[in-house]
Amino acid sequence: MIAKTLPGLEQVLAQELTELGANDVEIGRRMVAFSGDKEMMYRANFCLRTALRILKTLTTFHAETPDEVYEMVQNVKWEEFLDTGMTFSVDAVVYSEEFRHSKFVAYRVKDAIADYFRNREERRPNISLTQPDLRVHLHIADTQCTLALDSSGESLHLRGYRVASCAAPMNEVLAAGLLKLAGWKGDCNFIDPFCGSGTIAIEAALMARNIYPGIFRKEFGFEKWKDFDRDLLDRIYNDDSEEKDFRFRIYAYDINRPTLASAEANAKAAGVSDAITFEQRDFREFEQPEMPAMIVTNPPYGQRLTPPDILELYKSIGQRLKHEFKGGDAWIICAKEECYDAIGLRPSVKYQLFNGALDCELRKYQMFDGRMDAFRMSGGDIKNAEERRHMQEKHRSRTLRTTFSRARGEGDEQDVDEQYRILEHKHAEFERNRVFLERAEEKRRRREERREHGFQKGEEAFPRRGGMNDRKGGFRRNEGGFQKRAGGFKGHNERDNRFGGARGKSGRAGGFGSHRTGGRGR
């Protein structure tokens, strides 16, 4: 199987998969390959915080033309996954000199599947671009092709708790990735002074309580598959044995009151409003916290949001951290080097990431009294082992790039290996395709969010469309919390009011618009 993720989060996702019990974990570019059974596929969709999609590989093959792709696709026994009464769609991602048009390749895959059934049964399944029963994915790198089924359906970053939004909301997978990179474990207070729609604060609360992100999903793609095991998913869904209490506080600040109202609504929908304190506050008035805390935040970059005097804002961030956050770690993601320069502090760790199509860096600032040499002499350490390993690898990569650039710049063309030239050309082509695809994905995500949250006041936030409509019980919106679970596993009927009201998991219905028969409350 393949778990797709955002650039820069591959190592984090690999660690998640290892902790989940996956086998043969192997890191690639924007993906992590792994192996496991059906239960592992279900758990990967339900539990992983930094995965965008989980793909189940059907076959891999070599092809140099669309016609060869057509022939290889017809070799799959499609009757095991699809029948003429179902619908399907095809998505293709191409990084290749031989295949220049991804849509044409997708059309050939679609033709191969349709002709496969037409030749066997004189009928063919229909195409559905919005809610297909089966999503087929083709990935081509040069001439190596991987044909897979998308088990997730909608992207896994669409958790299901976002009922309100604001300008430039952060992707939930990226927010979880920032927290994982920062080492957030829920063992201290947490502060996001530029909370926006509350994504980072909400993900921090879910992570601190070890509530899996799949708990809010309306449905997964594999629920429409022919071999779907309802009892297996129910067992995974009902298992809350790993959840835990959070004894600290999360503080989410923003200067904009309407934005803060959106964040509060999202936290309420996620059932973590009791763990987060929202407050309208200007960061320039930030004061030293009474207890140890961690900051992870996403200030305006001056791209999609442009507050006046953006550099002055970042200068004040540096000043507040230096004078009012001694003894704490602050993690800041930004897309502009001049903004980091305005902070005026030396970061100890840097991670290269993407926020949408924006090339960003996540930087760690460890705050302490006095000079750095005195801090180190007293036994202080500004990097842990993992952060030190990351920076060493980053330095080696930079050294290799510098050596290659110097060789080309000095005109030593004959010293540059021919394979290196091919690799450089492929890398440039890959980067062009990557930027194009990321921009297209960002536009698609915004359209989905507008369509997802375009309901009228008073309507259900997440109306159920298809899927397991017979599933009963579930999350029910009830004055900022959830109703108590009726039934479920023995010994778990008595729940404390940890979610601003007792949180029950008898299924997925009410405010989240889904119904699970035989789920929690069976």
pLDDT tens digits, 256-279? 999 999 999 999 999 999 999 999
> Strand 329-334 and strand 31-35: pairing?
unpaired
**Confidence category of residue 456, pLDDT binned at 50, 70, 90:** very low
- Given a cut of 80, whether residue 131 has pLDDT beyond it is yes
Instruction: Tell me if residue 470 falls in helix, strand or coil.
Output: coil
Looking at residue 509, its pLDDT comes to 40
Which residue(s) pair with 359 in the sheet?
354
- pLDDT value of position 444: 74
Domain ranges, ordered by start, for the chain:
2-150, 172-209+245-382, 400-452
Q: Is the pLDDT reported for residue 167 higher than 90?
A: no
Burial profile 283-304: b = 16 or more Cβ within 10 angstroms, e = fewer: beebeebeeebbbbbbbbbbbe
> What residue ranges in 283-436 does DSSP mark as E strands?
293-297, 329-334, 349-355, 358-366
Q: What is the mean pLDDT of the chain?
A: 81
Name the 3-class secondary structure at 176: helix
Q: Which of 171-180, 242-251, 379-388 has the lowest average pLDDT?
A: 379-388
Taking residues 322-349, report their average pLDDT: 92
Average pLDDT over residues 226-232: 95
Are 2-150 and 172-209+245-382 equal in CATH topology?
no
Q: 284-310 pLDDT, tens per residue?
A: 888 888 899 999 999 988 765 556 688
Beta strand spans in 257-386 (E)? 276-280, 293-297, 329-334, 349-355, 358-366
Lowest mean per-residue pLDDT among 15-19, 65-69, 133-137, 405-409: 405-409
Q: Does domain 2-150 have CATH number 3.30.2130.30?
A: yes
Token couple for 123: 């009928």
**pLDDT greater at residue 437 or residue 327:** 327
Who contacts 517 (Cβ-Cβ below 8 Å, separation ≥6)? 468, 470, 471, 472, 507
User: Residue 387 pLDDT > 80, yes or no?
Assistant: no
Compute how many other C-beta atoms are within 10 angstroms of the C-beta atom of residue 155. Answer: 18
Q: What is the mean pLDDT of residues 360-365?
A: 95
Q: Are 61 and 226 in contact (CB under 8 A)?
A: no
Mean pLDDT of 381-396: 58
* Domain 172-209+245-382 of CATH type 3.40.50.150: yes
Distances (CA, A) of 441 to 52, 212, 220, 356, 421: 12, 24, 19, 8, 30
Residue range 367-391: mean pLDDT, rounded: 60
Task: Quote the pLDDT of residue 303.
Answer: 64
Reading the block at residue 331, the tokens are 């993690």
pLDDT tens digits, one per residue of 326-335: 889 999 999 9
Could you tell me how far CA 13 lies from the centroid of its own chain? 9
Residue 1: band (very low, low, confident or very high) from pLDDT cuts 50, 70, 90: very high
Contact in structure between 190 and 275 (CB atoms under 8 Å): no
Query: What confidence tier does 503 reach under pLDDT thresholds 50, 70, 90?
Result: very low
